[in-house]
Amino acid sequence: MCGRYTITVTLEELLIRYQIDPFFPLYHRPKYNVAPGQMVVAVINDGASNRIGELKWGLVPEWSKDEAAGFKMINARAETVAEKPAYRTAFERRRCLIPADGFYEWKKKQDGGKQPMRITMKDESLFSMAGLYESWTTPDGRKVSTCTVITTTPNRLMADIHDRMPVIVPPEQEAIWLDRSMRQTSLLLGLLQPYPAEQMTAYPVAAGVGNVRNDSPECIRRLTIDD
């Protein structure tokens, strides 16, 4: 699964990276420990240009009776995303990109414990996780916009850490993923591949990242032998 990630860049960097109007109204601060249930930055395309905004992490299908369903749908599996009723319509029509510059996963240790790891690009650049979004209406008429992160099988780097990883969309394929008119299932599914391991790296971080209340640069600090 993908249950924690980081996005430590500035709003200006986000707007430049996704070619978005610099006057787009959005408050953003660097986040070092993004968790399910929180509002997260996402990019969609309205048919003319990219737009950026916030979605609640944990997808609630439009037919759901309860907003709490989102806590069970923080991730969608690439292998079944085009078939499962909870994701099928969003996969066809409501795809998004979720910007990140790292994500966390917990690696099993020989003593039975777990070591939190932060996984990034080798150059520490921004990347785009493949996501889906939905709009759900509460019984009292309130609109709730939610999202999920798609996961896939691990690449060579991740295989030693966990059996799943988020789908990372290569920059040259982002426009295809965001294109609302694209309904070719085989092509879209073909984008949901493990990202090349040689372009990524992983390093250990402190156990404090396991607490969602911790959200500071300390979360991404690389552990050393002395720690």
Spatial contact of 96 and 43, defined as CB atoms under 8 Å apart: yes
Torsion 165-193-135-127 (CA) sign: positive
Q: Which of 12, 13, 62, 105 is catalytic?
A: 105
Is-catalytic flag, 96?
no
Range 37-42 contact pairs with CB under 8 angstroms and sequence separation of 24 or more: 37/70, 37/71, 40/7, 40/98, 40/147, 41/7, 41/14, 41/98, 41/99, 42/96, 42/97, 42/98, 42/99, 42/131, 42/133, 42/147
Q: Which residue(s) pair with 104 in the sheet?
A: 118
Q: How far is CA 48 from CA 27, 91, 117, 158, 187, in A?
A: 23, 20, 38, 36, 21
Distance CA 196, CA 10 (A): 26
- Whether 105 is catalytic is yes
Any idea which residues carry the catalytic annotation?
2, 105
